Amino acid sequence: MPQTQHAERHFRASQAVRDIVIGMADGLTVPFALAAGLSGAVVSSHIITTAGLAEIAAGSIAMGLGGYLAARGDAEHYDRELQREQQEVQTVPDEEAAEIVEVFKAYGISPEQCAPVVAALCKDRDSWVRFMMRFELGLEQPEPRRATQSAVTIACAYIAGGLIPIAPYFIVSGVTEALPYSIAVTLSALAVFGYVKGGYTGTAPLRSAIQTLLIGGTAAAAAFILARAIS
């Protein structure tokens, strides 16, 4: 079944890319915006690096564990629906057979045309249930190690992204002096990240770079203006 394998490989790759994108997009943006926002309100680099590292720790753990639970939730949802389908195939086989006919009807296929397929599925319960899971409910079986992989990928991407905007506050002395460097390295990193991301997700790289820059810039500007306004 080369098609199914192809589709699943595709699905898997885009999941990993998506996890990196989720983690790094927020990792680059939120600590940067927080540091920029705070630099409008406080004068000590130490407070900014402390807040920045605290944010990276909190953000990476919260997002990583959030990703873990989301993937676990998907897996549990799949298992519950699987059990329900297995039960229905046993207890109300006629209704389930009628549901196969309904699935095909949506594609202009008559009950007569799909009768041999229905008959074949009804003879093999395992295939029947798999068919219903994918074609009636649109659910794919999640990979067993998906949740852990997702958590680690998101958290690492967040940390990698988050250290970039904070680094200048460690290196350059003085908040006002460090801020332009933080802006420069972060915007550069956002542009590179957006460009590379575009290559993976299929969006035109340049457009992806500009989109990503705009997100980071908007989030940072909003945080900066808010922090200035209340300080």
Only segment of 86-94, 142-150, 176-184, 215-223 that touches a copy of itself (CB under 8 A): 215-223
Residue whose CB is less far from a copy of itself, 90 or 201: 201
Q: Which residues of 54-76 are buried (b: 16+ CB within 10 A; e: fewer)?
A: ebbeebbeebbeebbebbbebbe
CB of 40 to a copy of itself, least distance (A): 8
CB of 96 to a copy of itself, least distance (A): 10
Closest by Cα among 52, 75, 24 to 170: 52
Task: Kindly state the smallest distance separating residue 2's Cβ from a copy of itself, in Å.
Answer: 7
Query: Would you call 40 helix, strand, or coil by DSSP?
Result: coil
- Contact letters (x/-) for a copy of itself, 148-177, by CB under 8 A? ------------------------------
**Residues 6 or more apart from 124 whose CB is under 8 A from it?**
none
Instruction: Decide if residue 223 touches a copy of itself (CB under 8 A).
Output: yes
Nearest one of 75, 72, 78 to 151, comparing CA atoms: 72
Binding residue for a copy of itself, selected from 41, 97, 156, 191, defined by CB under 8 A: 41
Segment near a copy of itself (CB under 8 A); pick from 85-93, 110-118, 142-150, 177-185: 110-118
Q: Is the dihedral of CA 205, 211, 214, 219 positive or negative?
A: negative
Contacts of 80 (CB under 8 A, 6+ apart): none
Regarding 184 and contact with a copy of itself (CB under 8 A), the answer is no
**Residue in 9, 12, 13, 76 binding a copy of itself, rule: CB under 8 A:** 76
* C-alpha span between 158 and 101 (Å, rounded): 47
Determine if 49 is a binding residue for a copy of itself (CB under 8 A).
yes
